[in-house]
A = this chain, B = another copy of it.
Amino acid sequence: MPGKTTFVLGGARSGKSVFAEQLVEQSGLDAVYIATGQAYDDEMRERIAAHKQRRGLVWTTVEEPLDLIGALRSHAGEGRAVLVDCLTLWLTNLMMAERDIAAEIARLAAAIPELSGAVLFVSNEVGLGIVPDNRMARAFRDHAGRLNQAVAAAANQVYFIAAGLPLKMKG
């Protein structure tokens, strides 16, 4: 594990989760997976199942849709690598629960430097297409951009993933 906090940003089906999982596996640390996705529908259930299968049995899996900061504080620690997959699903859950997004982003950014051990965040870049028609999608896009900026600023290493390949942006 080269740095303490690693941020892996990429598009849909870019290979970002696999890349982050490989970083954890190469670290030799005890692996904890914090899944922020809830099994809302069959499509999501399939994705979570595929992720579980790929990660194999040596991982501890935690499902935490909303209290990500609490889950990080409980599970991060020396000798462990905690992988959060992903921040954009956490954001979706926060918006559905009508939380104060700016406050949640600020809390997460403040919590990151206090966590011990290795922590990896996976997130989607969603701001590189045409402006969405509906206001909710625009709000999501704005929040996601701010969340990604905040975590990238707090991270020691940042990778942008496209077609399964990493571009190092920081660290």
- Residues on A lying within 8 angstroms of B by beta carbon are 7, 9-15, 43, 125-132, 135, 137-138, 140-142, 144-146, 148-149, 151-153, 158, 160, 162-167, 169-170
Cα of A12 to Cα of B166 in the assembled complex, Å: 21
How many protomers of this protein does the assembly include?
3
Partner of A13, one of B130, B132, B144: B144
**A14 contacts which chain B residues (CB < 8 A)?**
127, 145, 149
A125 nearest in chain B by CB position:
B128
Partner of A145, one of B13, B140, B141, B146: B13
**A135 contacts which chain B residues (CB < 8 A)?**
43
Cα of A158 to Cα of B14 in the assembled complex, Å: 14
Q: A15, A160, A162, A170: which has the most chain B beta carbons within 10 Å?
A: A162
The answer on a CB contact under 8 Å between B170 and A127 is no
**A13 contacts which chain B residues (CB < 8 A)?**
127, 141-142, 144-146, 148-149
Partner of A169, one of B12, B145, B165: B165
Tell me the minimal C-beta distance from A68 to chain B in angstroms: 18
Cα of A167 to Cα of B162 in the assembled complex, Å: 11
**A152 contacts which chain B residues (CB < 8 A)?**
163-165
Cα of A148 to Cα of B142 in the assembled complex, Å: 22
Partner of A167, one of B7, B15, B130, B167: B167
**A10 contacts which chain B residues (CB < 8 A)?**
127
